[in-house]
Amino acid sequence: MHAAEKKVRAFVRVKPTAHFAQDVIKFGPDNKSIDIYIKKDAKKGIVNNKQTDWSFRLDGVLHNTSQELTYETVAKKLVSEALTGYNGTIMCYGQTGAGKTYTMTGATAEYKHRGIIPRAVQQVFKAIACSVDSFITVRISYLEIYNETLCDLLSTTTSSGASDVQMAVVDCPQGVYVKGLSIHPVSDEEDALNLLFEGETNRVIAEHSLNKNSSRSHCIFTIYIESRVRVLSDIRCIHSKINLIDLAGSEKLSKTGSEGRVLKEAAYINKSLSFLEQIIIALADPKREHIPFRQSKLTHVLKDALGGKCNTVLVANICGEALHVEETLSSLRFATRMKWITTEPVVNVTYDSEGTVKTLEKEISLLKQELAMHDSLVNRSLVTYGPLTDVQVAEIKSQIHKYLQGTIDEIDLEILPLISCEHCLLSTSLCSPSSRQEWSRIKVHVKIMNFRQVQEAFRQFKLIVRQQEGEVETRLRSKYVLIDKNDFAAIAAAQKLGIVDVDHHLLKRRDVETRPTPVSPKPDEKKKKFRTSSEQFKKEGTKSFFSGRDLAAHLPSKSQVIIPTKNLNVKEKARNEDTAKKDAQPSKPVSEEISQRPSSPPLRAVAFEQFKEECGSEINRIFKENKSILLARRKRSSTVARRINIIKQEMEDIKKALEAQRQERSQQGEYVDEKGRLIIDEKEFLLIMKLKDLKEEYRCSYAELQDLKAEIQYCQHLVDRCRNKLISEFEIWYSESFLIPKYVQNALKPSGNIRPGMIPINRVMCLEEDEQERFERMQEEMLPSGPDSFSFYKAKMKTDQKHTYNRAMSSLKLMHKKPGHITAAGKDRALPFLHVT
């Protein structure tokens, strides 16, 4: 599918400056031409034939243009065409500091200053969201070329983006590709931006660690798009890539005054850029047949991008100062040359026909025929290659079982009905029964002739191994307590019980039993003793087992124990203890002797008492105060309630008495005064007055009770909050004081450069919350840029967060240069949240 012939488009972008040389650089009225004027050099005398005025015509001059407008002008069309299958390349060319990186990547701190790459990623994913009938996948790679060396900025093997010797530019019929360059599938904009930011970070890290200069490397960010759409019975597959290239600084060697290593680097850059220039000249010449793409890594990688089958755009970044006019001229010349190249972009499309299945079926039947022919040539005409029957599978199974039991020495698949060539084999000269050696050779030969058999044999082995693993584990579980080595809580609980030591080595049962009383040995002694047993347990992989009896031997006396002794699951125990603690009433202090063991943390209950006395005293005081208020209110409330009941009872009694009075009156006849008002006696009057008072008292008490209820509810809430706070602060204090590894504890000492942050140990990524808060704040500040900025900031936050965490890790590592300090176990374990000051 050929499109019309096109030219490479070239733009010039002028970096804003306060010292813009107005008399040197002039823009045409249509914003497409740029003129350069240089005053004649007086020193060179009157006869000076050097040209001093130049005029360049390009596709657009971007002067005081926002990032958004730059993107619209330079990239938008190219990206939308990439979504329909055209490859696209955008390159930024120019001297160092002219704004190439600003144009390509942009300033990552602010959304509106983001460059072409993040905008292109956004455009691609917006288009994907709008497409209904196609299935589109996007992948990303980020390559750096430094001194003719290829570096994968997204390499998963090296975090610093160091060069990989395995990488090479390879030509293939589909185009050039970089062998060994990692290409990462991304599912959304945020994913892709994560990779961009990660690549940028790696670039900076590599720049520091390898002592190189980013302005001297070329960077190629590639977006690979593949879209599949069903067209009738076929699947149309369109694939394209967008290369976004930030070229190395184009400044002239003489100007940089480079020496030594820098000279070599500059020479490399100039070489690769001048090769690029040569290729551009060659491409622009219709008569040129050979284009020397392979001269440099850069031109080789760009072979597809420049070769004419792709949309190509160049942005020449220039500085507006008079001082840089030479470089500006050279960049403008380069841009003009680029414009000479004609391109013929084509859509990369393939069709996956459903007819493929038929073709394959045909091929299979042909191959079967071929196989049959080969078999007949070696007298194996009865071999079949179809799926195994149940009988055949059962036979293999039985053979393997016999083999494992030792009943047979060899698995003899020959006897299977599947291979019924036994007779013919025996009749051949190869398998003369007299020659045992030959016979076995034939057997092996026969065995590997049918792969279904071999696969089935291995499958049977696997089944047996799985089954046995299960049995062994069940047996061990019924007898021992199992601890997952990665389960921090269970290990801590086991340490507390003295079942494992600080290094997670198991304490040997024999060692314990030989001790007359369960007194803790000196730490050194203990370590020595337990070392041997640990060796044996190391071999058991990630899990270690220990006997219930071991556990019992280590438990303190029964009255002090809060856990069952038999088949105790330590993890469960840890959980139980947590629940108990929730009431802020940890069980009675347990054996001091155990808690004081220097190699294991003290019991939580003991530590909790200590915490309440020391660090947690203020919270504890508030907790107690609230609790006593709550208790007082409850007491008052029950008094009031009781009083209400008494009043009620009294009221009932009076009501009854009044009723009796009334009845008496009606029996005796009622007295009325001259106005017809009922006359009652004093007793009844007093009763009525008493009832009235009681009603008032009842009303008041009832109101007081309601108030008290509300107050109690509020106080209860306060007490709960205080209790939770007390517990959580205790947990933090406990973790920081006892559970974190020694090397971190050292770092936490006043002289260390890490200070304990009151953040729970189990929040490994403790930075999370701070970063999250920051992100939310940022969102509030920035979101005026619209919801589109969400992925950008989120990806940025993630990269920053990861980087901060890595920094914290490396400062830890630096503090403990001793290699033994950071063990594999130490790394896996939940690292305690640290704040690096």
Give the CA distances from residue 733 to residues 495, 613, 777, in Å, rounded to whole numbers and listed in that order: 18, 13, 29
* CB neighbour class for 51 (10 Å; exposed up to 12, middle 13-18, buried from 19): exposed
Contact 482, 543 (CB under 8 A): yes
Which positions from 243 through 272 interact with ligand ADP, judged by CB under 6 A?
A: 249
Contacts of ligand ADP in 289-348 (CB under 6 A): 317
Measured from each CB, the residue nearest to Mg ion is 101
Shortest Å distance, C-beta 92 to Mg ion: 8
Residues of this chain, 446-485, that bind ligand ADP according to CB under 6 A: none
d(CA 174, CA 350): 12
Distance in angstroms (rounded) separating the CA atoms of residues 89 and 304: 9
- The interface with ligand ADP within residues 12-51 (CB under 6 A) comprises 15-16
CB nearer Mg ion, residue 216 or residue 529: 216
Residue 89: alpha-carbon gap to chain centroid: 30
Question: 245 or 457, CB closer to ligand ADP?
Answer: 245
Shortest Cβ 269–Mg ion spacing (Å): 12
Whether residue 194 contacts residue 799, with contact meaning beta carbons closer than 8 Å, is answered with: yes
Q: How many residues lie near ligand ADP (CB under 6 A)?
A: 14
Other Cβ atoms within 10 Å of 155 Cβ, number? 20
User: Quick one: 96 or 791, whose CB is closer to ligand ADP?
Assistant: 96
Helix (H, G, I), strand (E, B) or coil at 576: helix
Interface characters, 199-218, with ligand ADP (x: CB under 6 A): ----------------x---
Nearer to ligand ADP by Cβ, of 98 and 169: the residue is 98
Structure tokens at 358: 């038929």
Q: How far is the CB of 14 from ligand ADP (least distance, A)?
A: 8
CB nearer Mg ion, residue 97 or residue 564: 97
Kindly write down the DSSP assignment for every residue of 75-102, as one continuous string. Answer: THHHHHHHTTTB-EEEEEEESTTSSHHH
Hey, which residues between 87 and 106 contact ligand ADP (CB under 6 A)?
94, 96-102
> In whole angstroms, how close is the CB of 761 to ligand ADP at the nearest point?
41
Given ligand ADP, Mg ion, none, residue 317, with its beta carbon under 5 to 8 Å by kind, binds: ligand ADP
Q: State the binding partner of 98 from Mg ion, ligand ADP, none, CB within 5 to 8 A by kind.
A: ligand ADP
d(CA 302, CA 236): 27
Interatomic CA distance for residues 240 and 238, integer angstroms: 7
Closer residue to ligand ADP, CB minimum distance, 201 or 317: 317
Q: What distance in Å separates the CA atoms of residue 172 and residue 177, rounded to the nearest whole number?
A: 8
- Residue 498 lies near ligand ADP (rule: CB under 6 A): no
Q: Which is nearer to ligand ADP, 107 or 472 (CB)?
A: 107
**102 binding partner (options ligand ADP, Mg ion, none; Cβ < 5 to 8 Å by kind):** ligand ADP
Query: In this structure, are residues 241 and 89 in contact, taking their beta carbons and an 8 Å threshold?
Result: no
Subset of residues 101 to 130 that bind ligand ADP, contact rule: CB under 6 A: 101-102, 107
Residues 99/317, Cβ–Cβ less than 8 Å? yes
Helix (H, G, I), strand (E, B) or coil at 487: coil
Distance CA 747, CA 743 (A): 6
Interatomic CA distance for residues 241 and 224, integer angstroms: 4
Closest distance of CB 18 from ligand ADP, Å: 12
Q: Residue numbers of the site for Mg ion (CB under 5 A)?
A: 101
The residue to which tokens 């209950």 are assigned: 605
Residue 101 or residue 595: which is nearer to Mg ion going by CB? 101
- Least separation in angstroms between residue 246's CB and Mg ion is 6
221 part of the interface to ligand ADP, by CB under 6 A: no
- Of 141 and 317, the one with the shorter C-beta distance to ligand ADP is 317
Binding site for ligand ADP (CB under 6 A): 15-16, 94, 96-102, 107, 215, 249, 317
